[in-house]
């Protein structure tokens, strides 16, 4: 069974640009969550999608957005990039929509560098 | 406001000894706690979890202890092995929110 895949693995952008990251969950998983990992901050929750609907949202500005398609694949978009957006962006999928009952399976992440 | 805190950024132990990683939380609504392990260039992988109705859960060399009154949990690894060297994240969830809140992580180094 294939794991969670994220593309691209590495990305370099400049300030002001926008970026789209992609995540394909494990087959059969309908919940997809996105996290930002920066040194000293751990993993910070961005948002969660289930059945093409955003169910939960973290405390990030509106420049961060996402969507989920009917095949459960998800994309995350960051507009007007800032230097502080440089981070590892992780996607995680789970089988059901209650994360407290099932562990999340993470992808390898997309390393975004903003210059 | 950091609701889940791992106050030790790093920990170094000798192979064969016990590793104890600590985690504190502030939100009394959290009722499910998990530990993840992360190697460089990989996503975190689930290690062990505990529900708030329990105070201990054991899986092989890994044991998680939960002290609800102190809002504290810990992960014990016995015996520690060099392959355990990784970043360990604790995470907490309130069942009515559907999202995981992670700590900052602790880097464990197990020396041969």
CB contact under 8 A, B97 and A56: yes
* A33-81: pLDDT as tens digits: 999 998 777 889 999 998 899 988 999 999 999 999 999 999 999 999 9
Is the pLDDT assigned to residue A2 strictly greater than 80? no
Question: What residues in chain B have their Cβ under 8 A from chain A's Cβ atoms?
Answer: 4, 6, 9, 31-32, 34, 36, 41-46, 49, 89, 91, 93-95, 97-105
The closest alpha carbon to B54, from B32, B21, B71, B75, belongs to: B32
CB contact under 8 A, B101 and A108: no
- For residues B50-56, give the mean pLDDT: 93
- For residues B53-69, give the mean pLDDT: 96
**Cα torsion B4, A33, A109, A1: sign:** positive
Is the pLDDT assigned to residue A96 strictly greater than 80? no
- From A53's Cα to the closest Cα of chain B, the distance in A is 13
Alpha-carbon Rg for chain A in angstroms: 13
Residue A101: pLDDT band (50, 70, 90) is low
Q: What are the backbone dihedrals phi and psi of residue B82, each rounded to the nearest 5 degrees, phi first?
A: -55, -35
- From B68's Cα to the closest Cα of chain A, the distance in A is 17
Closest partner residue to A103 among B6, B46, B102, by Cβ?
A: B46
Percent of chain A topping pLDDT 90: 72
**pLDDT top residue among B101 and B86:** B86
Distance, first Cα to last Cα, chain A: 37
Contact A103, A112 (CB under 8 A): no
**pLDDT top residue among B110 and A28:** B110
pLDDT of residue B70: 96
Q: What are the backbone dihedrals phi and psi of residue B99, each rounded to the nearest 5 degrees, phi first?
A: -135, 150
Residue B106: pLDDT band (50, 70, 90) is very high
Residue of A nearest to B102 (CA): A43
Instruction: Report the distance separating Cα B90 and Cα B25, nearest Å.
Output: 10
Mean pLDDT rounded to a whole number for chain A: 90
């Amino acid at each position: 069974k294939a794991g969670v895949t994220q593309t691209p693995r590495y990305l370099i952008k400049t300030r002001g640009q926008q970026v789209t990251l992609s995540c394909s969950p494990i087959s059969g998983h309908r919940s997809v969550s996105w996290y930002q990992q920066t040194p000293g901050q751990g993993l910070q929750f961005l948002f969660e999608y289930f059945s093409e609907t955003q169910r939960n949202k973290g405390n990030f500005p509106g420049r961060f957005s996402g969507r989920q398609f009917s095949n459960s694949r998800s994309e995350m978009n960051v507009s007007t990039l800032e230097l502080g957006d440089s981070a590892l962006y992780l996607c995680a999928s789970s089988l059901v929509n209650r994360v407290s009952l099932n562990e999340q399976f993470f992808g390898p992440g997309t390393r975004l560098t903003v210059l | 406001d950091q609701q889940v805190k791992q106050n030790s950024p790093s920990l170094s132990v000798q192979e064969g000894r016990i590793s104890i990683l600590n985690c504190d939380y502030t939100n009394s609504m959290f009722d499910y706690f998990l530990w993840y392990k992360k190697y460089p260039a990989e996503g975190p992988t689930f290690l062990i979890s505990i529900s708030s109705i329990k105070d201990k859960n054991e899986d092989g060399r890994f044991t998680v202890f939960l002290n609800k009154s102190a809002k504290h949990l810990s992960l014990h690894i016995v015996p520690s092995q060099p392959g355990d060297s990784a970043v360990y994240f604790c995470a907490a969830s309130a069942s009515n929110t559907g999202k995981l809140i992670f700590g900052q992580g602790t880097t464990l180094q197990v020396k041969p």
